[in-house]
Amino acid sequence: MSVSRNLVLVRVGRNSLHPSWIDRGTPRDWDLYLSPYQSIPPQPGIECTVGEVVTGAKWAGIREVLNSWDGWRDYDYIWMPDDDIYTDQGTISAMFDLAQRLELDLFTPALHESSYYTHFDMMVNRRFFARQVGFVEIIVPGFRRAALERLLPTLDLGTTGWGWGLDSVWPKMLGYRGIGVIDAVTVLHTRPVGRMRDAKLGRRLVEESDVLLGMYDCGQVHVTYGAVGPDLQPLDWTGERLLAEAVAGWRYLWERDPRILSWIAEFQRQAFPAPEYPIPGTPEAVRGLPIGAAPRSPAGAAAP
């Protein structure tokens, strides 16, 4: 591999979309490591490392790579997307650049408006450039290397390898600091979610997630704690302003599913309770927190 600060580590199958990520003939500032979960064809014209085939779910394979190949420790940032993500080389480079400039430990690009999704707050909100959040989903997470080293033991906690619950445990372990969604950078999630063909496996995944959340006394925290603008400076917004911007930016979601509007309000209320009236000014208790600041202790309720 070339000398780079950034690594894309992805579990791939024969239908992986990773070839779309490469702008052939254009230098890139990130390296690519493919971890196949089934035999894949040769990769002509794609500068990458192809590991041995490791069967099993995504996070079981990721764990195998991280424990058997120390090369990932040579990088500053590592992104681990699913192989059904459609994006391009420049978008990935922009994501790494912003993660570094925002000093994020755990991050994700936002999902494009046309994506299949599970959690509303992973979808792009065009009223934000980037958000400090309490949750980063396991489908496209990125890590600062030091944070990944700290979180690595959690990959040994489950038996299924699907990783359910890890995206709630990781923010709790990091103290809900340095965790962000980069709305200025979007990727497209191309496959439907929530379709579990094996009901027994589905129950195991839920049970495994519940055990992890109980072990770490945490839950899904779908809160926007603060925001930064295009100049990468924190926006001095109150809790009410954050809620208003969030609602406006996700209008395209809640117009299709009104439940989302109540979820946004409920999670924001957990972090920014209504102040007492009359309001003599903007109390510190409801001011937005910049990315990297320590948020108030969030409630651990899961989204409906």
Show me where the domains of the chain are located: 6-224
The span from the CA of 110 to the CA of 293, in Å, is: 21
pLDDT of residue 273: 82
> pLDDT tens digits for 272-295?
986 655 544 444 443 444 454 444
Query: HEC profile for the chain?
Result: CCCCCEEEEEEECCCCCHHHHCCCCCCCCEEEEEEECCCCCCCCCCCCEECCCCCCCHHHHHHHHHHHCHHHHHCCEEECCCCCEECCHHHHHHHHHHHHHCCCCEEEEEECCCCCCCCHHHECCCCCCEEEECCCCCCCCEEEHHHHHHHHHHHHCCCCCCCCCHHHHHHHHCCCCCEEEEEEEEEEECCCCCCCCCHHHHHHHHHHHHHHHHHHCCCCCCCEEEEECCCCCECCCEHHHHHHHHHHHCHHHHCCCCHHHHHHHHHHHHHCCCCCCCCCCCCHHHECCCCCCCCCCCCCCCCC
What CATH code would you report for 6-224?
Answer: 3.90.550
pLDDT of residue 290: 45
pLDDT of residue 212: 94
pLDDT of residue 194: 63
> pLDDT tens digits for 102-142?
999 999 999 999 999 999 999 999 999 999 999 999 999 99
List the pLDDT tens digit at each of the 304 positions of the chain: 445 799 999 999 999 999 999 998 899 999 999 999 999 999 998 999 999 999 999 999 999 999 999 999 999 999 999 999 999 999 999 999 999 999 999 999 999 999 999 999 999 999 999 999 999 999 999 999 999 999 999 999 988 888 999 999 999 999 999 999 999 999 999 999 866 667 788 898 999 999 999 999 999 999 999 999 999 999 999 999 999 999 999 999 999 999 999 999 999 998 998 665 554 444 444 344 445 444 444 444 444 3
Structure tokens at 98: 């912003």
pTM listed for this prediction: 0.88
